[in-house]
Each structure stands twice: as C-alpha cells, then as structure tokens.
Amino acid sequence: MCQIILTSFCPFISSHLSGKLSVDENVQTYRDLEEKYSSFFGPESGGHWKPKDCLPQSKVAIIVPYRDRDVHLRLFLNHMHEFLRKQLIEYAIYIIEEVPMIPFNRAILMNIGYKEAIKDNDWDCFVFHDVDLVPEDDRNLYHCPYYPRHMSSNVNTFGYVLPYKEILGGVTAISKEHFEKVNGFSNSYFGWGGEDDDFAERVLLHNLKIIRYPDYISRYFMLAHKKDVPSKQRFNLLESAKKRFKTDGLNSLQYRIESKVYQRLFSWILVSFDYPIKID
Ligand code: BGN
C-alpha cells in the first residue's frame, strides 16, 4: 500500500515571531554554543537548517565575509540561529574568511561565498551579511522579494537613521537571478569602503530598485569595534564603476580554497586570492 504524505508550505509570516528582540552580548565559547544548538544541527551540518513540519518558502544562504572578528562571530552565531529558525526558512550560514597577510576585500569574499554556496544547495536567495550587525526585530524577514532589499537601513551607530539614499552596505538580500544579472560584486575594492556603493550602482543600472522595510523593522545593533581606515582608491574606482560592471565581478572572479569545513554552526571556507602589488 502506498502512503501519501502531504506537507504544506510554512507560513510566510511565522507565528514564532515576537517583534523587538534584545541582543545578548555575553560572549560564549564555541563549545557552549555548539552544545546549545546541538538538537538543531548535526556535527557537520555547516549551519544548515530547515523546518521539519512544513515546506519552507525560501532557501536562503547567509554569506558572511570574515577576518579576525572572533568575538563578533560568536555573538552573531548565537543571535542569528535563534532568529533565523523562528522564521521557518531553509538557511545556512557561510563564513568566508581571508587568509591573514593579504589586503581585505569584502566584495571578493562575498562573490566567493556565492559561488561556493550554490555548489551545496539550490539557494534562491542570498543575504550578504556583515558579522558585526545583528537584527533587532524578527519581523525583518530574511527572504528575497522581487527587488534587492537593503536590510540594515537603521543601525544604532548611525542613530537609527539611513545615512544616504543609495547605501547598500551592511546587510543586503538579493535573489540568485538578480545577483547573476548584475555580475555580483566588483572584485577591485581592497580595503574599507566603496564596494557596496559600486554594487548599488550595478543594481540601479539594471533597472532594479533598492527597497527597504519600514524604519521600526530594519533596526540593527552594531557590535563594538574600532573604525577601519578607509581606502584611498575607492573614489577612482567608483568613478569607473559603470565601465567595469560587465567585466569585473562573478565572471572574472579567481580564488583558491585553502580549507573548507562543514562545522556544526557554520560552513567555514578559508580562501586566498591575488591582489595588486600597490594598493593606495
Ligand atoms: C560610505 C562608504 C560605504 C560604507 C558607508 C557606511 C565610501 C565611498 C566614498 C564615496 N562609501 O561612505 O562603503 O558602507 O559609508 O559606513 O566610502
């Protein structure tokens, strides 16, 4: 006798949501965190979770560019796994780390995260996420609407005010289709600043809009850290952004995987890449 199992879609707005959240700033050890979440993640699950009793409506890869922010990562993992599970989506957290001693390039790390994540699963949505930002309201749904969404528009360190209209940094959700269409991020921005403005330009050049949640939902708490030194080259690069987007991005990305480990709470990918001898 054949048995038919009918499973329905998870609700778009989960009944587990509670609205405003507090941020737990107690730094736990990895061992304690793994213990805390052991009933949800197997030892090599790579921080990949999906609801058991319903079919998730979104498959979301959370891509986190990373270097040297161990305390932030632990606070981030603790906050995000709780937050994401309640939304009843399928998701995984990818930590894309750069080897030490080479100049930081946030955008290359996010492009690599995208390329590696699509090898694992048919993700339809990508949330590019700074490790020092955590959402303060769980009505901030991590999925991809038609247009790219700037999620972190109201950050405590900016007085919960949008700094400028085209900002697309911090936390950004974009569908697979649109990320491919805009050729991902530029690979050219070494050091701090500008790569997100370049990305915004790509998005707008492709006739896409940047959308946002209302202010009371898109609130984020930035974990404390020293301010990075802005790069000097970012102004020139931004000036040539329009000319570069077709040839500088996913289609020109080159990198080496130094290590890839599916840990319990995240997929960890250590990478290296070439960089110009002289960077201003
Ligand atoms: C902007 C940076 C962004 C950064 C935001 C918020 C530049 C380009 C210079 C024209 N842009 O100033 O990269 O996300 O601040 O910190 O530096």
How large a percentage of the chain has pLDDT more than 90? 94
> What's the predicted TM-score (pTM) here?
0.96
Quick check: helix, strand or coil at residue 274? coil
Q: Please report which confidence band the pLDDT of residue 128 belongs to, taking 50, 70 and 90 as the band edges.
A: very high
Query: Which one of 196, 220, 238 would you pick to mutate in the ligand 1 pocket, going by the greatest count of ligand atoms within 8 A of its CB?
Result: 196
Per-residue pLDDT, 277: 80
> Which of 197, 201, 237, 240 to probe ligand 1 with, by most ligand atoms within 8 A of CB?
197
Stretch 190-201: mean pLDDT: 97
Looking from the CA of residue 169, the nearest atom of ligand 1 is 14
Q: How many other CB atoms are found less than 10 A from the CB of residue 54?
A: 14
The helix/strand/coil state of 243 is helix
Q: How far is the CA of 87 from the centre of ligand 1 (A)?
A: 31
Q: Is the pLDDT of residue 78 over 80?
A: yes
Distance 211 CA to ligand 1 centre (A): 19
Q: Mean pLDDT score of the chain, rounded to an integer?
A: 96
Q: Residues 43-51+58-270: name the CATH superfamily.
A: Spore Coat Polysaccharide Biosynthesis Protein SpsA; Chain A (3.90.550.10)
Q: 89 C-alpha to center of ligand 1: Å?
A: 31
DSSP-derived secondary structure letter, 182 = T
- How far apart are the CA of 101 and the centre of ligand 1, in A? 24
Q: How far, in Å, is the centroid of ligand 1 from the Cα of 253?
A: 23
Q: Which atom of ligand 1 is nearest to the CA of 230?
A: 17
Q: Which residue has the tokens 């632990």?
A: 74
Instruction: Give the start-to-end residue ranges of the domains of the chain.
Output: 43-51+58-270
Around ligand 1, the residues with Cβ closer than 6 Å are 163, 167, 169, 193-194, 196-197, 230, 234-235, 238
Q: Report pLDDT for 6.
A: 66
Query: In this predicted structure, what is the pLDDT of residue 29?
Result: 98
pLDDT at 224: 84
Average pLDDT estimate for 74-87 = 98
Detail the DSSP E strand segments found in the chain. Answer: 48-49, 59-66, 90-98, 125-129, 133-135, 149-150, 154-155, 171-175, 219-222, 256-262, 267-272
Which atom belonging to ligand 1 lies closest to the Cα atom of 195? 13
pLDDT tens by residue, 16-26:
999 999 999 99
Q: With 90 as the cut, is the pLDDT of residue 197 above it? A: yes
The mean pLDDT of 118-131, rounded to a whole number, is 98
Q: Is the pLDDT of residue 5 over 90?
A: no
CA dihedral 210, 141, 172, 157 (to 10 degrees): 100
Confidence bin at 71 (pLDDT 50/70/90): very high
Take atom 15 of ligand 1 and give the residue whose Cα is closest: 193
Pick the residue with more confidence: 226 or 138?
138
What would the pLDDT profile of 214-268 be if each residue is shown by its tens digit? 999 999 999 988 888 899 999 999 999 999 999 999 999 999 999 999 999 999 9
pLDDT of 94 > 80? The answer is yes
